[in-house]
Amino acid sequence: MKIIESIVSISKVDHERVEHVWHNLGFPYVMVKYMVVCICAVQFVVAQDSLNTVTAEPGDGILSLLRKQGVDPYEVMDEFIYINSERLKDSVHLVAGRTYVMPRTVLDTVAIVDSIQKQSTDIKKLESSKYDLFGEKHKNVIAKSKRLKGTIYYLVSGHGGPDPGAMGTYAGKAIAEDEYAYDITLRLARELMAHGATVYIIIQDGNDGIRDDRILEIDHDEVAYPDKEIPLNQVARLKQRVQIVNDLYKDNKGKYQRLIVTHVDSRSEGQNIDVFFYHHEKSKNGKKLAESIHKTFEAKYKKFQPNRTYAGTFEDRTSLYLVKKTHPAMTFIEIGNIRNAKDQVRILDPDNRQALAKWISEGILLDYEDK
């Protein structure tokens, strides 16, 4: 009964959160359901908390909406997305005029766990890890599931170091491929880690982290895993990446391993393109990975942009150096045209970069679980 008393103030919208936390703590499914039912019963008898909701206005993003409510968006953003998942567009976008439930506070969940942990010495701690590479605001990664436990993913963002890659202009400022590919890659890494995957981020910038700006400042201090200087020469740069990935692949022999390479394309300014996926022509698993992510994108477009046909494809492109030379099954992703105004919206908007990372991660989950 003490457990119930410690969480009686939690509203009904939090029950799913409680259930999610208790599953992560290792409680049997039947016990979890019983405890949640008990909470509902106690709440009905004692009192029903009123839900704190807010209606999105035109132009609102999740970050701006949370700021307007007087809370630190980086502390509660993941919680907000979790409890409003069915109300969001493209997994992370608000819909003007739609009402959303505000998180009570992330401390509610911690308090729940702490109060339960005091009842037993056998309960596991809530899984949460810190990764400084993601930056101060995003370094805490709370486990969502163990769906990718035992898997290994190598993530390579295009260019970096002395080579910024494709260049474009937005609002009179130069924008570079490597900065946006890297930001999306970090967001993807965070999603995969939250589901239990081991992730190697092959290109790293210790100063940047995940950034929520439209204009990402260009620098040249990226290194190759673990701390190797990136060569200026293109062939040398590609050989370095291949060597790093293949050495890690050998070290992890016998384990489930996949490679994701992320680039931003450069074409004529008038050419609006979709997201494309490439694989090795002889790799059955690479083709399946590319197809799974492609299917996810098709489904998202059909649901959220029914009046627009998704033109992105998945196909073999063995001529690409990393596709040809690396050993893990892989997919090579082209995000869009950095010089096209419509594609720039997809690339520059931080909410869109998060959506891209989440869609890719959902495709990866589909690929792994459809074995």
Q: pLDDT value at position 2?
A: 40
User: Which pLDDT tens digit goes with each residue over 60-79?
Assistant: 988 889 888 888 777 777 77
Among 112, 135, 153, 133, which residue's Cα sits nearest to residue 27? 112
Level-2 CATH architecture, domain 128-369: 3-Layer(aba) Sandwich (3.40)
Between residues 336 and 122, the one the model is more confident about:
336
Residues 14/52, Cβ–Cβ less than 8 Å: no
Q: What is the mean pLDDT of residues 96-114?
A: 64
Q: pLDDT value at position 19?
A: 52
154, β-bridge pairs = 200, 259
Tell whether the model's pLDDT for residue 32 goes beyond 70.
no
Q: Is the dihedral of CA 299, 301, 305, 307 positive or negative?
A: negative
Tell whether the model's pLDDT for residue 51 goes beyond 80.
no
Tell whether the model's pLDDT for residue 83 goes beyond 50.
yes
Amino acid letter, 137: K
Break the chain into its structural domains and give their ranges: 2-117, 128-369
Residues 294/278, Cβ–Cβ less than 8 Å: no
129, β-bridge pairs = 141
200, β-bridge pairs = 154
Helix, strand, or coil here: 157?
strand
Q: pLDDT value at position 64?
A: 86
Mean pLDDT lowest among 34-43, 187-196, 267-276, 349-358: 34-43
Tell whether the model's pLDDT for residue 227 goes beyond 50.
yes
User: Which pLDDT tens digit goes with each residue over 164-214?
Assistant: 999 999 999 999 999 999 999 999 999 999 999 999 999 999 999 999 999
Q: Whole-angstrom Cα distance, residue 292 to residue 362?
A: 9
Residues 264/336, Cβ–Cβ less than 8 Å: yes
Q: What is the mean pLDDT of residues 232-251?
A: 98
Burial profile 86-123: b = 16 or more Cβ within 10 angstroms, e = fewer: eebebbbbbeeeeebbbbbebebbeebbeebeeeeeee
User: Which pLDDT tens digit goes with each residue over 276-326?
Assistant: 999 999 999 999 999 999 999 999 888 877 777 888 889 999 999 999 999
Helix, strand, or coil here: 38?
helix
End-to-end Cα spacing for the chain: 43
